[in-house]
Homo-oligomer: A and B are copies of this chain.
Amino acid sequence: MKKFLNHVDHMLTESLSGFAAAHHDLVELQLEPTFIARKHKAQNKVALISGGGSGHEPLHAGYVGKGMLDAACPGQVFTSPTPDQMLAAAEAVHAGQGVLFIVKNYAGDVMNFEMAAEMLPFAHATVLTADDCAVVNSTYTTGRRGVAGTVIVEKCVGSLAESGADLASCKALGDKINQRTSSIGVALTSCTVPAAGRPTFDISDSEIEMGVGIHGEPGRRREPIRDADAIIADMVAAIVHDFAAKQLPTQGNILLLVNGLGATPLMELYLIYNTAAKLLTAQGFQITRSLVGNYTTAIDMAGASLTVCLLDDEIQQHWDSPVHTVGLRWGC
């Protein structure tokens, strides 16, 4: 394992300290229990809190800021944060209108956010994201995994919360976006968890993992590497199939997110975008919003995911609204 690292036990704290120092105008770090919150606490709005295992940066701490999250609770790498982190974050950022947890569907995260929710002295609700259409159940998951579609939920619900909407409306928008969003990923290489010190899975130089999870969980199949166009065609077909299965129209305005899993050059992500956009357009979709880059990573995995969100006027309006975070910034 080759990483910029002092000691595995200190890596998360050192990294979060660097994050908070580099962006001290935007965020604050609290330790023990650990969370990242906005530097300037919001007033009189639903407080949005997300979190999960680290290793997916910029998710979630990179999405704390005006127009998006109020706080993020990072666990150790690929390990759920604990309920005391969520409670401390909620106490710190609650602004009189209740707390909405945005949680990726993994057993540990779901359990710990549920425990925190039960102890919360505030009105609360939870949006569970489960956009990964690769597999039904998975290593750490009953039901579909939450992956890069979570970014779209956090952005749009963040916008709605900023407008003063109530808790039920924020939850409803999050649930709607999750229902209208499908993702699928593919790995060229494994990731390496620092504490493990070796790749999570073995894969040969001539194979890819189609449908991989963001922790290196198995996907649909191990297959020989092919031309990018052939790989992307299968990914687009999986998403279109999932839309049909969810009884969503397979045409209309969409947001297309091409997400790098950590070690994939931008040049390849744009090549993927080029092919995916053509295939989705031929399918009948109109790509009216796009995002290309590393938004939900799997540490140092070479690979990429596609996320398609079926827009409507409400979702598009909240996607376009101003946001000022480390990971997404426009209009501010």
Bound complex: CA of A51 vs CA of B235, how far in Å? Answer: 33
Judge if A267 is at the interface, Cβ distance under 8 Å.
yes
Chain B residues near A188 (CB-CB < 8 A): 2-4
Assess the A19–B227 pair: CB atoms within 8 A.
no
| Contact (A18, B277) CB under 8 Å given A3-B268, A5-B228, A268-B3 | yes
Chain B residues near A57 (CB-CB < 8 A): 265-267, 270
CB distance from A60 to the nearest CB of B (A): 12
Chain B residues near A297 (CB-CB < 8 A): 265-266
Instruction: Tell me the count of chain A residues lying within 8 A, CB to CB, of chain B.
Output: 62
Bound complex: CA of A258 vs CA of B21, how far in Å? Answer: 13
Chain B residues near A316 (CB-CB < 8 A): none
Assess the B6–A227 pair: CB atoms within 8 A.
yes
Bound complex: CA of A274 vs CA of B275, how far in Å? Answer: 39
Judge if A17 is at the interface, Cβ distance under 8 Å.
yes
Bound complex: CA of A189 vs CA of B267, how far in Å? Answer: 19
CB distance from A230 to the nearest CB of B (A): 9
| Contact (A262, B262) CB under 8 Å given A6-B229, A21-B274 | no
Judge if A300 is at the interface, Cβ distance under 8 Å.
yes
CB distance from A283 to the nearest CB of B (A): 16
Chain B residues near A6 (CB-CB < 8 A): 227-229, 271
Main secondary structure of the interface of A (DSSP, over half): mixed
Assess the B225–A274 pair: CB atoms within 8 A.
no
One of B58, B77, B290 near A266 (C-beta < 8 A):
B58
CB interface residues, A 281-302, toward B, < 8 Å: 287, 290, 292, 294, 297, 299-300, 302
Q: For residue A328, which residue of chain B has the nearest CB?
A: B329
One of B17, B58, B62, B268 near A4 (C-beta < 8 A):
B268
Bound complex: CA of A294 vs CA of B227, how far in Å? Answer: 26
CB distance from A179 to the nearest CB of B (A): 25
Assess the B55–A265 pair: CB atoms within 8 A.
yes
Chain B residues near A208 (CB-CB < 8 A): 2
Bound complex: CA of A41 vs CA of B267, how far in Å? Answer: 25
Q: Which of A57, A62, A229, A271 has the most CB of B within 10 A?
A: A271
Assess the A4–B304 pair: CB atoms within 8 A.
yes
Q: Which of A17, A267, A294, A332 has the most CB of B within 10 A?
A: A267
Assess the B273–A4 pair: CB atoms within 8 A.
no
Assess the B265–A5 pair: CB atoms within 8 A.
no
CB distance from A192 to the nearest CB of B (A): 10
Per-residue contact bits, chain A 1-40, to B (CB 8 Å; 1 contact, 0 not): 0111111000110111111011100000000000000000
CB interface residues, A 55-78, toward B, < 8 Å: 55, 57-58, 62, 77
Query: What are 15 residue pairs bridging A and B, where the CB atoms are less than 8 Å apart in the complex?
Result: A4-B188, A5-B228, A6-B228, A11-B267, A14-B270, A15-B270, A15-B274, A16-B270, A17-B274, A18-B273, A18-B275, A19-B292, A54-B267, A262-B265, A330-B332
